[in-house]
Amino acid sequence: MRRTLCADCRRPVLWTRTDAGKQLAVDPAPDPAGNTAVHRDGLGVTRSRRPTEELPKAPWEKLHMPHVASCPARKRPSATPAALPAGVTDLSAFRRTRGRP
């Protein structure tokens, strides 16, 4: 179980290893509103996964909130588009996506 501080908000985070082998930071305290099931395997590695209907949370797992969802430094107000300078036309409505006619 590796606990460190978030570089953005300086709150403690618990690093877990996902089923895909990637690292995921979760809040260290269990949260019933969380969507990540966390447990320690036989080697002492803290594992995490997303419970599904086919494979719900097991009794030995606890729900935690991913830190990216609760980090106050990441919650920024949605930016409103800035006004374009005089003489500049916004072409985003006329652009086509790649591969579409």
User: Band of the pLDDT at 78, cuts 50, 70, 90?
Assistant: low
Q: What is the pTM (predicted TM-score) of this model?
A: 0.70
Euclidean distance between CA atoms 85 and 101, whole angstroms:
30
Q: Could you tell me what percent of the chain has a pLDDT over 70?
A: 85
Predicted confidence (pLDDT) at residue 63 exceeds the cutoff of 70: yes
- DSSP class of 12: E
Percent of residues in the chain assigned helix, strand, coil, to nearest 5: 5, 25, 70
- DSSP class of 84: P
Euclidean distance between CA atoms 48 and 2, whole angstroms:
13
- DSSP class of 15: E
Predicted confidence (pLDDT) at residue 21 exceeds the cutoff of 80: yes
- Domain residue limits, the chain: 2-70
